[in-house]
Amino acid sequence: MQALQADANATAQIAYWDAGAPSYRWIQIGLQEVLSRNLGPTLSTRAMALLGAAMYDATVAAWDSKYTYNRPRPSQADPSLVARVTTPLSPSFPAEHAVTAGAAETILAYLFPDKAAQFRSLSEEAARSRLFAGTQYPTDVIAGLELGRTVAAAFVAAAKADGSDAVFSGSYPISPGVWGNANPATPLAGGWKTWALSSGSEFRPAAPPAVGTPEADAQFQEVKAFSRTNATNHSAWFWQPSFITPWLDMAHRKNFEQRWDSNPPRAARVYAMTTIAQHDATIACWDAKYTYLWPRPSMVDTSIVTLFANPAHPGFPSGHACASGGAGTVLGYLFPQDSAAMSAMALDGGLSTLYAGIHARLDVDGGLRIGQSVGEKVIQRFREPQ
């Protein structure tokens, strides 16, 4: 009975970690952690970018070792061995699931130290599943975990110096025509270190029109006059919980459709580019928000009824539009046959905030432009020889 139970557990672990590319499950785990802790946009995108980038670099490092040593898989070395899953076409050493797990565990333990032991247990399970599957040797797993942890440690060291731990000591009092809030959301995030941009201000847009001018009045009047429908309400509520989730769901979908789930470096690259674009776009967005302190529509005209509460950060530009513009641009580049669909999705993500009454159209348009510029910069960065 114990042997049957052990085999059932091993089978379950194999199936769980074999459901996609090695990075797939860890993106899911990281996102679940971010959402369960209700982190704001800047901290959420920071966490996911660290996770995505570390797993990608660790995977690239693993592929360098794989094709340096060209170690055959166990079933290739001994045809009498039968693997329990499809044997990957890459060399055996080091184990790709172990490399990814070691990197993910290290990043997540840094971000959420209260659950470090749980992440360590999961990483060891992910690595061990390849032994149960019969696709790799114990030394592949040991080396993989060590390599992944080593790569991620460099990311953690850099993250500790990215400025995200700076303490805000100022205030934003509420006054006519200017955004204010007693508890502003990460007001210093525009100065955090970026990945592909030279700084958060690289794509800072021109100032929005001053409140009280005809140009500004027209922006707020459009929000006031907007007539909501079931379709616009659906869009607003779909995007409201987190602009990260729909884009990572799309990244998952495209990886599976293109069969990149069997190509760990390509799948990890999709996650890295998407998460980095969202984070850099969010930092650029926060730079503009706290530079101009453009108010939310209902702060100017109290008769405007929002679909849900205003977030605790300025209106211009829209964070959903910035992040969606960034993600849509890189995914359109990675999957050019779907570039029009990605642009349409980015537009919907941005307009969802207009539909909800928490942003003006100027916020959305400005955010999409920032996001597109950031996405193009991320694409350029990934094209450059490293």
Q: Which amino acid is at 76?
A: Q
CA 190 to chain centre: 17
Q: Which of 278, 314, 87 is nearest to 185 (CA)?
A: 314
Report the SS3 class of residue 367.
Answer: helix
Q: Which amino acid is at 194?
A: T
Same topology, domains 2-159 and 189-383? Answer is yes
More reliable by pLDDT, 384 or 108 = 108
Q: How far apart are CA 41 and CA 45, in angstroms?
A: 6
Look at residue 6 in the predicted model and tell me its pLDDT.
Answer: 54
User: What's the N-to-C CA distance of the chain in angstroms?
Assistant: 53
Pair 91, 264: CB distance under 8 Å: no
Give pLDDT tens digits for 219-264: 999 999 999 999 999 999 999 989 999 999 999 999 999 999 899 9
Give pLDDT tens digits for 318-350: 999 999 999 999 999 999 999 999 999 999 999
Give CA separation, 374 vs 196, 225, 249, in Å.
8, 32, 21
Tokens of 309: 């509460």
Q: What is the CATH number of domain 2-159?
A: 1.10.606.20
Q: What is the CATH number of domain 189-383?
A: 1.10.606.20
Beta partners for residue 175, in sequence order: 178
Look at residue 147 in the predicted model and tell me its pLDDT.
Answer: 98
Q: How far apart are CA 351 and CA 234, in angstroms?
A: 12
Q: How far apart are CA 361 and CA 226, in angstroms?
A: 11
Mean pLDDT of 13-41: 93
Q: Looking up tokens 């979908």, which residue turns up?
A: 253
Please report, for the chain, the start and end positions of each structural domain, with discontinuous segments joined by +: 2-159, 189-383
Residues 255-289: b if buried by 16+ CB within 10 A, e if exposed: bbebebbbbbbbbbbbbbbbbbbbbbbbbbbbbbb
Give pLDDT tens digits for 302-312: 999 999 999 99
Q: Which amino acid is at 168?
A: F
